[in-house]
Structure 1
Amino acid sequence: SLSSAPFAILICTWRIPIMTRAQRFHPLDPLSAAEIAVAVATVRAAGKSPEERDSMRFVEAVLLEPEKNVVALADAYFFPPFQPSLLPRTKGSAVIPSRLPPRRAKLVVYNRHSNETTIWIVELSEDAMEYAECEATVKNYPPFVEAMKKRGVDDMELVMVDAWCAGYYSDADAPSRRLARPLIFCRTESDSPMENGYARPVEGIHVVVDMQNNIVIEFEDRKFVPLPPPDHLRNYTPGETRGGVDRSDVKPLIINQPEGPSFRINGYFVEWQKWNFRIGFTPKEGLVIYSVAYVDGSRGRRPIAHRLSFVEMVVPYGDPSEPHYRKNAFDAGEDGLGKNAHSLKKVICSVLGV
């Protein structure tokens, strides 16, 4: 989504310490290497098939220059020499925003498979940028590079770094610091950009990253564990079955609605049989259902629930060994169910009635 205005500062009386992070990029700064990597990965992931994704050639990736009012806002409050006089005069007190709108990248992409050239606009979220910066911080750390060479990996482009939350195991993980304990994986030397690198975890390396300052604060090559051997079935794509032949014993399943769907949608209001409700969406929870009611005969519209949502999904991996004992993901609170949701229309999937 494209933001049109910055958020306003809210004054809250709750005594919850919140670590703010300064704006790292002026709206007119050229795209960083991490931003370009995020933008390219975002566009490639939007491809409908492996063939389409592999055929993408990125002709250009540049900053989509912001509106003048965003630049004026940045120069007024976020970057020296701080010139509030640059902003237009308004009646009453000015509302100082807490942050600038997300930066955006413009990419020109040529697809050899379809022989088409398209222009993409990608919003560079803070979360996506932090993941990319954490990976760059680890891969540029000399002791880590040496540890990977011991495992036979010289090309850092094959290395994947996933920034997992640190959790809280002792006072060293104090909530006053923003820490990550990355997990490491390594692709093989394949020409496929969609290769499943998670099939080859890199174990025995302990690393902690200070996300506030983008530095490695702990590193230890604790144990040499050989990398899993390459497996040509690792991507789970058609043709990668044992023997090279896909299964043919599953009969086709065809679902159709010749008279149309049984539900009606008016904006965000949904009616389905005797049920009706409103739908919403948040970055953390994803889908939210409001004002659920049931038309109950002579009783009329009977309220059932005011608000329903998937508040959290905790995934404890349950393995006491290193590093798996710390895998206790809070998928909503830490990563955001809504931020990681994908439209079914963008994949090869029939969405009946929509």
Structure 2
Amino acid sequence: MTIAEDRTTATHPLDPMSADEVGQIRRVLADAGLLAEPVRFAFLALEEPEKSDVLAFTPGAQLDRRFRAILLNLADGSSRDVVVSTTRSAVDSVVDIDPVAAGQPPILDTEFELIEDILNADEQWTSALARRGLDPATVRAVPLSAGCYDEPGEEGKRVVRSLGFQQLHEKDHPWAHPVDGLVAYVDLTSRTVTRVIDHEKLPVPREPGNFDDPEQTGPARTSLKPIEITQPHGPSFEVEDSRVRWENWDLRIGFNEREGLTLHQLSFHERPVLYRASVAEMVVPYADPSPVRFWQNYFDCGEYMFARYTNSLELGCDCLGEIRYFDAVVADDLGEARTIRNAICMHEEDFGVLWKHSDLFAGSHETRRQRRLVISFFTTIGNYDYGFYWYLYLDGTIQLEAKATGVTFTSAYPERGHEYATEVAPGLGAPYHQHLFCARLDVGVDGQRNAVDEVEAQRVPVSEDNPYGNAFRQARTRLTTESDAKRLADNTRARVWHVVNPEVTNRLGQPVAYALHPQGQPTLLADESSSIHARATFATKHLWVTKYDPAHRYPAGDLVNQNPGGDGLPKWAAEGRGIDGEDIVLWHTFGLTHFPRPEDWPVMPVDYAGFTLKPVGFFDRNPTLDVPPTNTCHHEG
């Protein structure tokens, strides 16, 4: 059974939104006169209660279930930010959105469906295709978020930019055939093309990229023998509604269309570690500065609500083993509930050796195996597919792994070469780009009053105390204000960040802590003067630390689409509030800088990015000494 099937009434403030609640929200809004015919839902999700209320909640206590909706009027482009209580059947607030100052609501499925009709009704677009000998009926239009530039007439308007890709037949993957050198600017409200830039006529690559066609791939190999994973006594975890218990871990699972999978109230041995964890934003900036592509950068969470496109996972394909699936409920453009079957996959995995030692003196030979709980979901946004895997380990470690696969975004590759793209097939380019994610980590290590120390290796010069020059030590710097806590990783110094609780110590008198280990890949590479730098400032640092504020939810601000920049983390950090011994939130940027390879075409093998949280003095000793040996471990002396 799944979360959506298990309950019709919420029993905890953080229970995910149900289909019944979506229906109730729609009725409340309609009764309030807020759902005229052209109005569409651009966003709908649980408005999580104040942290203090959640922490004080006791089973059976009364709940006030509140939800936030962003409503867009397709007829005039106006939008509203609305909060609704389903418990009281009331509209709590309605705020008109200023599109110039605040930005636009995310792009709707309805608008994607309109784009080809809009383009094919425009003489400039069809003439440009005719000059290339292309039938508009064979060209798939891809509407893409416009960013925020000084384009005349765009201020306050709801716009997208569209590139074209030729599809030669119904099963043909159009990404193999980019119609490059051509772009259309589209006003979504008036449903008109405002500008066509026909910069350069480039040949449309012809070689197919149909990775699912046996004629292209050749016969499937027959050499792989089956791998079977069984748990004859069932899994070790327990599930009650959205609550999960597994091997000293206790947590809640949530889901919303903007962030996808969220984890709540993670504790180990009943000691809190994280209040809430999610991937709160991601940006994919491209490096091609050509007149038809300079604007390419996508905030997949904030501009597209990427978890709307979460895959229904299948046993043996996406997940292997003894699986517990959870459904997820989202709302479509009309505010009708849509249940995503098997949206979240949870299972246990063997993860090799946990610890091992064969002792020369004591004659002992001991081995224990590591195991982890895997909680994951996969979403497809345009050409890319992203998987997000949270791992919980027996020793208290937490890890997030983002998996990027799918099809690289393509361009033409001219004979003269391309400074900002790789040729991945004859005449086909894949522009350089980055995938930069931002994890929001609302920490609570043994309580809500935490601090952050930057800890790194420090060389010690030759001196009277270090005559042979072999010494090095650990340097520790407390980050005391939000303005100071904008930090870059440095792998040459093994730099990590310790989230400490100054009020709680272990048996050695050390403050208990969890360490954030970054992978330390490049942050945003665009120039500081660029529009994308202003809009994705969060991605210019690996770490930000802010004082907890329930309104601070997304690192690039609430409304990202066509936002001019400056919202989110740069605005909050500028306040310079104290973060030493306070209720704090860590924002960690991690990701990939992708110079595509020929091996990434026509479909890309998974690439990985992520981070790790490891206990440091949180326990008095190794917390896995009680893990039993497996039945197959029979050591001889």
TM-score by length of 2: 0.35
The whole-number CA distance in structure 1 between the counterparts of 2:317 and 2:112 is 28
Give the letter aligned to residue 321 of structure 1: S
Contact 1:137/1:215 (<8 A) preserved: yes
Match status 1:141 vs 2:141: no
Post-superposition shift, 1:21? 10
Aligned to 2:308, what secondary structure does the other structure show? coil
The whole-number CA distance in structure 2 between the counterparts of 1:200 and 1:304 is 49
Match status 1:353 vs 2:323: yes
Match status 1:6 vs 2:26: yes
Give the letter aligned to residue 178 of structure 2: P
User: Match of 2:211?
Assistant: 236
Q: Which one of the candidate residues 246, 257, 272 is aligned to 2:246?
A: 272
Distance 1:173 1:285, change over 3 A: farther
Q: Which one of the candidate residues 203, 207, 213 is aligned to 1:226?
A: 203
Aligned to 1:338, what secondary structure does the other structure show? helix
The whole-number CA distance in structure 1 between the counterparts of 2:121 and 2:316 is 35
Distance 1:252 1:325, change over 3 A: farther
User: Match of 1:245?
Assistant: 219
Distance 1:182 1:350, change over 3 A: same
Post-superposition shift, 1:194? 3.7
The whole-number CA distance in structure 2 between the counterparts of 1:183 and 1:324 is 9
The structure where helix makes up a greater share of residues is: 1
Post-superposition shift, 1:134? 2.0
Residues 169-221 of structure 1: per-residue CA shift (max 9 Å, x gap):
22647552211011211101x2xx34211111111112100112211111132
Contact 2:28/2:90 (<8 A) preserved: no
User: Match of 1:201?
Assistant: 178
Contact 1:173/1:179 (<8 A) preserved: no
Contact 2:253/2:264 (<8 A) preserved: yes
User: Match of 1:184?
Assistant: 164
User: Match of 1:165?
Assistant: 145
Alignment of 1:188-337 (within 5 A): 188=168, 190=169, 193-231=170-208, 234-237=209-212, 239-241=214-216, 244-295=218-269, 301-337=270-306
The whole-number CA distance in structure 2 between the counterparts of 1:177 and 1:291 is 41
Post-superposition shift, 1:143? 2.0
Distance 1:8 1:217, change over 3 A: farther
Aligned to 1:310, what secondary structure does the other structure show? strand
Contact 1:238/1:246 (<8 A) preserved: no
TM-score by length of 1: 0.60
Post-superposition shift, 1:252? 3.3
Higher relative contact order (CA 8 A, sep 6+): 2
The whole-number CA distance in structure 1 between the counterparts of 2:291 and 2:215 is 31
The whole-number CA distance in structure 2 between the counterparts of 1:217 and 1:229 is 30
Moved more, 170-179 or 126-135: 170-179
Distance 1:22 1:320, change over 3 A: farther
- Give the CA RMSD over aligned residues: 3.4
The structure number with the bigger radius of gyration is 2
Aligned to 1:276, what secondary structure does the other structure show? strand
Distance 1:25 1:94, change over 3 A: closer
User: Match of 2:491?
Assistant: none
Residues 136-189 of structure 1: per-residue CA shift (max 9 Å, x gap):
2112212211221222222x332211111111222647552211011211101x
Distance 1:208 1:250, change over 3 A: same
Give the letter aligned to residue 214 of structure 2: G
Residues 96-120 of structure 1: per-residue CA shift (max 9 Å, x gap):
998xxxxxxxxxxxxxxxxxxxxxx
Contact 1:6/1:97 (<8 A) preserved: no
Distance 1:314 1:137, change over 3 A: same
Contact 2:210/2:216 (<8 A) preserved: no
Task: Could you tell me which runs of 5 or more consecutive residues in structure 1 were left unpaired when the two chains were aligned.
Answer: 10-19, 27-78, 80-92, 99-124, 296-300
The whole-number CA distance in structure 1 between the counterparts of 2:155 and 2:255 is 28
Moved more, 260-269 or 314-323: 314-323
Alignment of 1:41-190 (within 5 A): 127-154=108-135, 156-170=136-150, 172=152, 176-188=156-168, 190=169
Aligned to 2:274, what secondary structure does the other structure show? strand
Post-superposition shift, 1:25? 7.9
The whole-number CA distance in structure 1 between the counterparts of 2:178 and 2:201 is 12
Aligned to 1:326, what secondary structure does the other structure show? coil
The whole-number CA distance in structure 1 between the counterparts of 2:278 and 2:237 is 21
Q: Which one of the candidate residues 289, 294, 311 is aligned to 1:342?
A: 311
Contact 1:160/1:187 (<8 A) preserved: yes
The whole-number CA distance in structure 1 between the counterparts of 2:177 and 2:238 is 46
Distance 1:262 1:317, change over 3 A: farther
Post-superposition shift, 1:8? 5.5
Q: How many positions carry a matched residue from both structures? A: 242
Residues 72-110 of structure 1: per-residue CA shift (max 9 Å, x gap):
xxxxxxx9xxxxxxxxxxxxx996998xxxxxxxxxxxx
Contact 1:21/1:212 (<8 A) preserved: no
Give the letter aligned to residue 278 of structure 1: R
The whole-number CA distance in structure 1 between the counterparts of 2:230 and 2:292 is 47
The structure where strand makes up a greater share of residues is: 2
The whole-number CA distance in structure 2 between the counterparts of 1:187 and 1:347 is 31
Aligned to 1:208, what secondary structure does the other structure show? strand
Q: Percent identity?
A: 29
The whole-number CA distance in structure 2 between the counterparts of 1:256 and 1:164 is 44
The whole-number CA distance in structure 1 between the counterparts of 2:291 and 2:107 is 30
Distance 1:133 1:247, change over 3 A: same
Contact 1:186/1:201 (<8 A) preserved: yes
Contact 1:180/1:210 (<8 A) preserved: yes
User: Match of 2:345?
Assistant: none
Contact 1:8/1:96 (<8 A) preserved: no
Contact 2:197/2:292 (<8 A) preserved: no
Contact 1:7/1:97 (<8 A) preserved: no
The whole-number CA distance in structure 1 between the counterparts of 2:115 and 2:306 is 21
Post-superposition shift, 1:276? 1.2
User: Match of 1:116?
Assistant: none
